[in-house]
Chains A and B, each alone.
Chain A
Amino acid sequence: MSDVAAVQLRGVSKRFDDVTAVDDVTVDIRDGEFFSLLGPSGCGKTTTLRMIAGLEYPTAGGIGIFGEQMGLRPPNKRPVNTVFQSYALFPHMTVHDNVAFGLQMRRLDRDEVRRRVAGALELVQLTGREQRRPSQLSGGQKQRVALARALVNEPKVLLLDEPLGALDLKLRQAMQLELKDLQARVGITFVYVTHDQEEALTMSDRIGVMDAGRLLQVGTPEEIYERPTSPMVADFIGDTNLLRATVKGDGQIALDDAQIVHAETAQPAGSEIVLTLRPERLHVTGADADVDPAHNALDGTVARRVYLGNAVSYDVRAGEVTLRVRERNAPSRRRFAVGDAVQVHWAPDAAVVVVR
């Protein structure tokens, strides 16, 4: 591993006519890291990936790969390979020829090509399928061929554009772990585009959350989940309660409906903020129960209950706000029904204050 960033984006923007697809993105992706670009569809994550691949050129800013500026270098002259969303396997070629394509284009000798193709197919467990055509493969197998076709070139950076998007849930989950495993084995930097936050949390060393062309936050899955820096990030990653509020000073925060709660914040009094509360950090107790005095507590009524098997989800109406609470399912826990008067409480450090 080197100290030089595997991929360095500096003020990268991409405009299509009057639409800004990517807006001033700056980030260093480290050597050997599994980095995910996460965001809703149309947020610019795929365009960012395509600019790294050289399939699009930025309208502003620069992209460096291991210290080399890419500029207007065409895709065939960049040390990266891509696994495309729909795989883009060549339908008129066998599995072997698909995987061999990149090596042949670089004019490696025959024996070397054969050896490396065999190695790549073994890596993705497709040995014995060399002579099949893409149309004779299942979705999961196509996905593996696409992976082998890229990895066989031993790129410095592998770009993956929602590679698991077309697979069903079970297969996707299996492939997530397999991909993560594979990345650890080959030691190549992965830049992974996905709109699936769970996928990003499962696989990534670091995540960059994008929305409307902007990179909102970069951090480890824990940082992104537990310390979001904007309401959008908090909302996009996992379930969350977003409460509009104003800082009162002395650790006091007034919700928009004037209920007062306590939370740590560096924001000065008068700041308009959003309080983000993860449902699993909230608890429900009976209206008459004793609550730890250090906790915040709001009185409310159960408006909805959803049984999730391993948990029970309550929507509690408290004043003008509705809080979603997820209680782990345990026999000792008291269950509440719709209409029950309850208290929702949480430890002061459970809330994260985000500037609006």
Chain B
Amino acid sequence: MAQTLVPDPETQPDGHALEDRAALVRSRTGLWIAVPPAVYLVLLFALPLLIVFIYSFATRGPTGQTILANWNLAAYTRMFNPLVREIAVRSFGYALLTTVICLAVSYPFAYYLATRALRVRNVLLVLVMIPFWSNFLVRTYAWRLLLSSSGPLSQLTELVGIGQTRLLFTPAAVVIGLVYGYMPFMILPLYAAIERIDLGLVEAARDLYASGTRAFWRIVWPLSRPGVIAGSILVFIPSLGAYVTPEILGGSKTTMLGSYIVRQFLSARDWPFGSALSFVVMAVMLAATMLYFRTGGRTL
């Protein structure tokens, strides 16, 4: 097999590029640039996290104080009660639904965006980002007005004869709020991924007897998968830990993990349990993200 013994010169990586890369790795100038953000992260992120971790093994005192002695796993074992399970399942459900709706709505928009002329794209991208210019809390309160039974949406349904809609404080209101809040985090990575796809590939597929639909599912969809994965992670994770949206738009039956954790710290004054919950949620998110990357997000 002479063919396999002689390397094809055209497929070999460029030697110069490799040398340049090696020189960059050896050089130490990069280290000094990396130090300030590293210090910042360690002090302000890792350290508090460590404190949370330590607290999760502590005990709640009779008046709500935290006793930093007699380390135990009580906070973790208490997590297996039905209430926590119900809240966890609900949170996962809402987050999943939010992610799916965001994906379904954002994909066509991102595709449209990515295939426009550059000038139109920029205008549309700015429009996507405009909501970030005002406070999230204020925008969520605005939804409260929109969704209330005397609000515009309800008036519209009444006008067409379906009667009033009572959306506020229902699970639907929470999901609507979450979809609204996290949609840009789906649109942007999708746009970036689709924009990179050579539309000539779609033409090639069409030339090779693929209908428009099949060309999409065989070419555009798989090539945009990095964007789908990134967007899904960016929407699912904050949705899972959402606090503001379910607090403002939801009712007593729509409590999500975020609110439940906050309640442990503030009203229940059970810091060890709150810490343990936070940590488990974080670990699950991390594990899910890693699994996601493993199964197909390598090119992200």
Contacts and interface: CB of A to CB of B under 8 A. Distances in A.
A75 B207 contact: yes
Interface residues of B, number: 23
A86 B200 contact: yes
A346 B204 CA distance: 51
A101 B222 contact: no
B219 A90 contact: yes
A202 interface: no
A74 interface: yes
Interface in B205-234: 205-212, 214, 218-219, 222-223
Contacts of B203: 55, 75, 84, 88
B128 to A, nearest CB: 27
B204 A139 contact: no
Contacts of B63: none
Which residue among A76, A137, A138 has the maximum number of chain B CB atoms within 10 Å of its CB?
A: A76
Contacts of B205: 90, 101, 105
A92 B207 contact: no
B223 A105 contact: no
B46 interface: no
Nearest to A102: B208
Task: Using C-beta atoms within 8 Å of the partner chain, give the interface range for chain A.
Answer: 20 to 34
A139 B209 contact: no
B252 interface: no
B11 A138 contact: yes
Contacts of A106: 209
Given A88-B201, A92-B223, A139-B10, A55 B207 contact: yes
A189 interface: no
B158 interface: no
Contact of B204 (A84, A92, A137, A138): A84
B198 interface: yes
Interface in B156-207: 198, 200-201, 203-207
A13 interface: no
B204 A82 contact: yes
Which residue among A53, A88, A138, A139 has the maximum number of chain B CB atoms within 10 Å of its CB?
A: A88
Contacts of A102: 208-209
Interface string B1-33: 001000011110000000000000000000000
Contacts of B222: 92
A138 B10 contact: yes
A149 B198 CA distance: 18
Nearest to B202: A88
B130 to A, nearest CB: 31
A53 B207 CA distance: 7
Complex A-B, nearest 4 residue pairs according to Cβ-Cβ distance, in ascending order: A138-B10, A102-B208, A88-B204, A105-B209
Given A55-B207, A84-B200, A89-B204, 6 more contacts: A54-B206, A76-B206, A88-B203, A101-B205, A138-B11, A149-B208
16 contacts: A74-B211, A75-B203, A75-B206, A76-B211, A80-B207, A81-B207, A86-B198, A88-B200, A90-B204, A92-B222, A101-B210, A101-B218, A106-B209, A138-B8, A140-B10, A150-B208
